[in-house]
Structure 1
Amino acid sequence: MAGLAATGTSAVGAGCGELGTTLGDGSESDPQVTCAVESVFPADTVKTALYEHGGLSQDVDVTFRVFDAYAGPVMSDFADELNRSSDAADLLVLRDSWLQRFHSTGSLTNLTERLPERVLTPIESECFWAASRSGRAQGTGDRYGIPLRVEMRVILYRRDLASAAGYDPAGANWGNEPLSWERWSHVVADTLANSGVKYGFTSPLGAYRSLVYGPFYEALSTWGGAYFGDPTTTLLGPAGERPVTVAEDAGIDAVRMLRRFLHGESFDGFGSFAGDVVPAAALDWNVDDVRETISRDEAVAHHIWTSALTDSGVKDVDVTADRFGVTPTPYGVRPQEGSYPRTDGTMSPLVSRQVIVNPNSERQSAITRVLQAMTSPGFQQRLLRTEGWLPPRKDVFDSAAASETLGGYAQTLRLVGEHALPAPYTPVWSDQIRPIATHVNAILARERSPRAGLESLAAELQRIEQNA
């Protein structure tokens, strides 16, 4: 396995500092790098940004091998690239959920062992924890991916309607000081009653993966709970060795709160929360349905992925206009009061695209130089401006590019990223999504009780874990 092995006389185990002197020395006779991407990837824009804003030397020739994201299983195409002995792509840009699957088959290069400190250090010190953690392998903690872009979840709300209902979002600093779920429920209820719009708070609560990655994950975490115990140690596995904790008290509080929001039900501890603020129709909704309600301007607020702020998925409505505002997901328990680290206060799921290195590539120096350009602030600022890609680097949110592209949302998104968690990816996660979606949706639809429904879900997740 060639990977990014050191050239010359340096041994692979000599340490990152010594490897850094060989991987980036520019001594290769063929400084060319091929990167495998999906067809939706803006290859020309990325290539220009690498040279003009990332500082990549023109003597490194970057080309892209594009796979049609709509024609077939791109993951299989990428697996073929990793297994090819010749003419294989050197780098691959893939979804963070795929990284763990490829790692489980031994298909990836260990970047902790193979990259110099000048590339690794910014990822650890400057990137959001969740983006950095998504590039690490389950169990070992070694790095196999470099974060390229991220997406998170926030609440988009009608600032003008909230103000008309007597609230002061700017004075209360809603953008940077998360509200409690109780307070938020009354904001929605009061604004809905005062405004006459169709819906209060829209959220994708249908039995789809969007429920698993979004509203339930957020409710569970902001009440101090987790799918699989301590996210800082067991989030990414190993599968079969991590506890299943979804049915603990925090999970029960999460679904009780959501049922209060949907149906106005009374549960101990939630009587002071406003009810009937989420439409019952949301029990059949996915992300696209929520975007449609934004396009029709039908609600007080929406729980959304940040792509709705930066791409064309929302039609006919300028969500950056002054009449809109963005606030982080509210909290159930305050910081330091959760059952596990990073599961209290506000929380957002974070998904990312990661860049991995083909272990069969022998273009060590050129690869290192490309990855260094991709992790630079200038490169990430350019892609934020041109493509709306949210950067994994925290400091980019303080830049002029962020102010120009995101306006007043920039600092809110930085705070959201700092409190984000990746999904609990393992090779069995894809088998666990459907049971979570169906069980939680049934609980929210009042077909199962909160405790019995979550205990049944926990048993099913445990069975899948044990068969990993």
Structure 2
Amino acid sequence: MPKDSTQNGVSRRQYLAATGAVGAAGLAGCAGGGGGGDGSDGSDGTTTGSSGDEIGGTVTVFSGTEYVDSGMVEALHEAGVPDSITIEMVVPPADSGSKQQQLRTAINAEESDPDLVLTDNGWTIPFIVRDDLVNLEEEMDEEFIARVKDEGVQSMINTGTHPETGDLYSVPVFPDYPVITYRKDLLRDAGYGDSDFETWQTDPPTWTEFSGIVAEAQSGSDVEYGHLWQGNDYIGLACCTFNEFLTSMGGAFFGGEDNLFGPIGDRPVTLDTEESIDGIEAAVDIIHGEGLSPMDIQGVSPTEVAGWIEPDTKSTFEAGDAVTQRNWTYTVGGAVTAFEDTDMELGVMPLPQGPNGSWHAQGGWIMSMNPYTDNMESAKEVIKAWWEDSALQHQFDSANYMPPKPSLFSYVEESDTYGPYFEALQYSAENLIPRPTTSVWPNQRTVVANEVNAALRQEQTPQEAATAMQERISAIEEQA
């Protein structure tokens, strides 16, 4: 992919222009078009929505722990949600797959709660094509829909849009992608310095170099672990960590990015190619160091990573028990806080490079509405307020979630927490690889996670894992 373009549909020039041109106009959206702009206060104290229906009551939001007691409810009211509406943040399971299943159960039972839900951008489209979410384009005013499409990160807009009709079903809440957080203090002790740290922000080391750096730093320290990442048999292995190894080594699920979203049954399955097998071998080597991959990758990850997900590695790294960690951007803020008043010094870099470069899984969450909500007018007010700059800035300040608008990237660059690492964040954002989100991906990702995890645990060889994935995923394609 050319370095002057981004997977988000924003050129490097546009990205930099956006980060430098917000200024006073950045908060203009708060003055008009906010959550309460379409409502009116009647003489009897009631409030009506754009359809003329009264709004009020409780709107439940399937969000997460980061939104509880964070001031987000107050920020949404300040952004336009009428006082007649009570917003309740509900904490779902931490694992994305479990959250998906809980939402599926609620919709199958036609439950009215939650009214709104943050859905993973990787599994929203299957809900959309089954009409299991509200078509916002049919229910919300054209001006708001046009604002979202114009102002949002395009790749996130795409993940909330019906692939055939082009209608918008979900509004971006925050994009996410992984980076490497590392202990600068340990690397300094191993002989690396500021010039290395600066170079790595925009020219990350290869997997060979990276594993050597981690091995050196760990051998000269008393930390228990080297490099941490998420290798459990779960959704995150298929969509993200394996996808990153796969793509950096030159492999692909379906022959390349052009085929990620279909056509189902009429695209090549390429998980048994030499390059795709290299991707499995690289993941195995960084745990076991057996020299399987064409790159010389040392075994610097503990065997435990084959059973870990994001909270496991986050807590371990923040406790100072590892040299490096692969995790999402929000964990940068967590590490900054954890390292305060300690001798630990934080560094951030993009993911290591393979023969095909440095690639980062496209993650993030989008706001969707339950089709069985019994409080649609009030839920719409919450969605509109959440899109206001002031609410998104509060979300970033309180939960470390990136804003879903390029016009707010300068807010990240100016942040005391994220500003020092902005070059690394920008590089990672410019080198994103989506997951193959289609109606059959939920079944296919289970296959990928099962087979790759078995290879990580050395229950089968990378070749055996590749062969099994090739056969099983091909069968799913043919039956679709």
Structures share a fold, TM > 0.5?
yes
Residue of structure 2 equivalent to 1:278: 301
Q: Please tell me the residue identity of whatever aligns with 2:244.
A: E
**Are 2:238 and 1:212 equivalent residues in the alignment?**
yes
- How far the C-alpha of 1:229 sits from its partner, in A, is 4.2
**Are 2:443 and 1:431 equivalent residues in the alignment?**
yes
Report the Cα distance in structure 2 between the residues aligned to 1:428 and 1:65, rounded to whole angstroms. 33
Report the Cα distance in structure 2 between the residues aligned to 1:320 and 1:466, rounded to whole angstroms. 56
Return the match for 2:411 from 399, 415, 434: 399
Residue of structure 2 equivalent to 1:330: 352
1:384-463 equivalence runs, <5 A? 384-399=396-411, 403-463=415-475
Q: Aligned Cα RMSD in Å?
A: 4.0
Residue of structure 2 equivalent to 1:181: 207
Residue of structure 2 equivalent to 1:9: none
**Are 2:173 and 1:145 equivalent residues in the alignment?**
no
Measured against aligned partners, the alpha-carbon deviations of 1:357-408 in whole angstroms (never above 9, x if no partner) come to 4668899998776544323332211111123333222343321686134342
Report the Cα distance in structure 2 between the residues aligned to 1:408 and 1:48, rounded to whole angstroms. 29
Report the Cα distance in structure 1 between the residues aligned to 2:432 and 2:374, rounded to whole angstroms. 36
Shift in CA distance, 373/184, structure 1 to aligned 2, threshold 3 Å: same
Shift in CA distance, 238/120, structure 1 to aligned 2, threshold 3 Å: farther
**Is 1:131–1:422's contact at 8 Å kept on the other side of the alignment?**
no
Measured against aligned partners, the alpha-carbon deviations of 1:208-250 in whole angstroms (never above 9, x if no partner) come to 434223321111122233323443x543446445442333333
Report the Cα distance in structure 2 between the residues aligned to 1:65 and 1:190, rounded to whole angstroms. 48
Residue of structure 2 equivalent to 1:5: none
- How far the C-alpha of 1:49 sits from its partner, in A, is 1.8
Shift in CA distance, 267/65, structure 1 to aligned 2, threshold 3 Å: closer
Report the Cα distance in structure 1 between the residues aligned to 2:413 and 2:456, rounded to whole angstroms. 41
Report the Cα distance in structure 1 between the residues aligned to 2:322 and 2:472, rounded to whole angstroms. 36
Return the match for 2:320 from 285, 297, 300: 297
Measured against aligned partners, the alpha-carbon deviations of 1:86-110 in whole angstroms (never above 9, x if no partner) come to x887754433355223223223344
Shift in CA distance, 384/50, structure 1 to aligned 2, threshold 3 Å: same
**Is 1:381–1:401's contact at 8 Å kept on the other side of the alignment?**
no
Residue of structure 1 equivalent to 2:284: 259
Q: Please tell me the residue identity of whatever aligns with 1:166.
A: G
**Is 1:329–1:348's contact at 8 Å kept on the other side of the alignment?**
yes
Unaligned runs of 5+ in 1: 1-19, 335-344
Residue of structure 2 equivalent to 1:165: 190
**Are 2:79 and 1:79 equivalent residues in the alignment?**
no
Shift in CA distance, 448/63, structure 1 to aligned 2, threshold 3 Å: same
Measured against aligned partners, the alpha-carbon deviations of 1:54-87 in whole angstroms (never above 9, x if no partner) come to 4x374x8544366563699641465269x58xx8
**Is 2:402–2:412's contact at 8 Å kept on the other side of the alignment?**
no
**Are 2:376 and 1:350 equivalent residues in the alignment?**
no
Return the match for 1:201 from 197, 208, 227: 227
Q: Please tell me the residue identity of whatever aligns with 1:262.
A: I
Report the Cα distance in structure 1 between the residues aligned to 2:187 and 2:462, rounded to whole angstroms. 32
Q: Which moved more, 1:301-310 or 1:153-162?
A: 301-310
Report the Cα distance in structure 2 between the residues aligned to 1:112 and 1:241, rounded to whole angstroms. 30
Residue of structure 2 equivalent to 1:191: 217
1:82-93 equivalence runs, <5 A? 91-93=116-118
Report the Cα distance in structure 1 between the residues aligned to 2:303 and 2:89, rounded to whole angstroms. 42
**Secondary structure of residue in 2 paired with 1:103:** helix
- How far the C-alpha of 1:147 sits from its partner, in A, is 1.0
- How far the C-alpha of 1:280 sits from its partner, in A, is 3.5
**Secondary structure of residue in 1 paired with 2:61:** strand
Measured against aligned partners, the alpha-carbon deviations of 1:2-41 in whole angstroms (never above 9, x if no partner) come to xxxxxxxxxxxxxxxxxx9xxx865543362764422746
Report the Cα distance in structure 2 between the residues aligned to 1:266 and 1:387, rounded to whole angstroms. 40
Measured against aligned partners, the alpha-carbon deviations of 1:240-285 in whole angstroms (never above 9, x if no partner) come to 4544233333312212223332333334732xx2422223443344
Shift in CA distance, 61/388, structure 1 to aligned 2, threshold 3 Å: farther
- How far the C-alpha of 1:461 sits from its partner, in A, is 1.5
Q: Please tell me the residue identity of whatever aligns with 1:37.
A: V
**Secondary structure of residue in 2 paired with 1:195:** coil
**Secondary structure of residue in 2 paired with 1:389:** coil
**Secondary structure of residue in 2 paired with 1:147:** strand
Shift in CA distance, 265/311, structure 1 to aligned 2, threshold 3 Å: closer
**Are 2:158 and 1:133 equivalent residues in the alignment?**
yes
Report the Cα distance in structure 1 between the residues aligned to 2:426 and 2:55, rounded to whole angstroms. 35
- How far the C-alpha of 1:425 sits from its partner, in A, is 3.1
**Is 1:184–1:330's contact at 8 Å kept on the other side of the alignment?**
yes
**Are 2:125 and 1:100 equivalent residues in the alignment?**
yes
Shift in CA distance, 317/464, structure 1 to aligned 2, threshold 3 Å: farther
Report the Cα distance in structure 2 between the residues aligned to 1:88 and 1:293, rounded to whole angstroms. 35
Identity of aligned residues (%): 28
**Secondary structure of residue in 1 paired with 2:201:** coil
Q: Please tell me the residue identity of whatever aligns with 1:228.
A: F
Q: Please tell me the residue identity of whatever aligns with 1:79.
A: I
- How far the C-alpha of 1:207 sits from its partner, in A, is 3.2
**Secondary structure of residue in 2 paired with 1:434:** helix
